[in-house]
Amino acid sequence: MNVSINGSAERAAQVLSRPFTVGGMTVPNRIAMAPMTRMFSPGGVPNAEVVAYYARRAAAGVGLIITEGTYIEHPSAGLSDSVPRFYGEDALAGWAEVVQQVHLAGGRIAPQIWHVGVSREEGAPPHPEAPVLSPSGIGLNGEPVGRAMTQDDVDAVIAAFAEAAANAERIGFDGVELHGAHGYLIDQFLWGATNRRSDDYGGDPASRVRFAAELVAACRKAVSAEFPIIFRTSQWKQDHYDVRMAETPQELEALLTPLVEAGVDVFHSSTRRYWTPEFEGSDLNLAGWTKKLTGKSTITVGSVGLNQDFLPTFVPGTGSEQTQVADIENLLDRLERDEFDLVAVGRALLADPEWAAKVLSGRTAELVPFSKDQLGTLH
């Protein structure tokens, strides 16, 4: 990939500045902020620094903010008391202030609501007494851990997601994203390696997607018809980056179709590198295939504006310590042919809160490269 900044400002502005409407939400441009866990919310409550963090990016031209993952009200949902939660008057008041300031800055915002499932360690806060739950009591590495969810567990988690979605609409968010990717709970049901159930929630793809579809349907019922539901998917799982949940377009379609029928409006298709083709015989990425198969709008994500994926940040020896700024010509090509609808920017927006403003105005020479030490601050 060419890492020089040689795209014209006029082209970037033309392609990225188009408004996008889904349901009752109109996003002023095609730039979204990807959800990234930051762990800067003591006691799970978003504070003034978190408010400023999101508002700063909206003020600099990000059309849609998708918040970091935030825990639903279920004792087994979380793994840290520094990650924000989406329940309790104190946390919801913090989120309401985030919403207000993002709206004042001209942006739109959706919370990503989340249950980590088997990724939680025994004894982890905010509820150290809670058990580790998953579809089959099996970790991402195939080893036994925690316990399999009962029907009562399934019902409780679905109800908690629905309540969180309703609260998102009630306190003024513009939509909601359900975290169904990266090997967390919803994804653990979707993936055959972690879902070995013999009841209605396990087996073939139509059965493995049942939990997710029931969850989406419950959220759809809990919010108004015009309130957009975004669903995040991925092939890769945490620490298992080459895993493929669907080997063919047909397998992917079998997993996505029930989610569309249940009420998903937008799919957020998470990849490590947005320019990588998803299946042989086509240069479409995961977001492109998802849009083609479902007819729904999609968000692409994966190393946008950077020359390498996130792996070197977390796995030593897999790349350069310094991630350089890269052009987005390939991204603009794909947007122009409507391969996907929105572009989520992650690490580039952590490094440079003004990334959107600089790209839209042609000030790409001023873009700040990403480095690992930026994860230690909330700026």
Which residues are the active-site residues? 184
Yes or no: say if 107 and 58 are a contact pair by the CB < 8 Å rule: yes
Calculate the CA 201 to chain-centre distance: 23
- 342: part of which helix (H) or strand (E)? strand 342-345
Yes or no: say if 340 and 288 are a contact pair by the CB < 8 Å rule: yes
Give CA separation, 22 vs 106, 229, 296, in Å. Answer: 17, 10, 10
Q: Quick one: which of 343, 274, 340, 269 has its CA closest to 12?
A: 343
The C-alpha atoms of residue 325 and residue 370 are separated, in whole angstroms, by 8
Residues 6+ apart with CB under 8 A from 278: 235, 271, 284, 285, 286, 288, 289
Q: Quick one: which of 109, 115, 214, 116 has its CA closest to 169?
A: 109
Pairing state between β 176-179 and 147-148? unpaired
Termini Cα distance of the chain = 29
The C-alpha atoms of residue 330 and residue 325 are separated, in whole angstroms, by 14
The C-alpha atoms of residue 120 and residue 116 are separated, in whole angstroms, by 6
Residue 287 in tokens: 């977001």
- 21: part of which helix (H) or strand (E)? strand 20-22
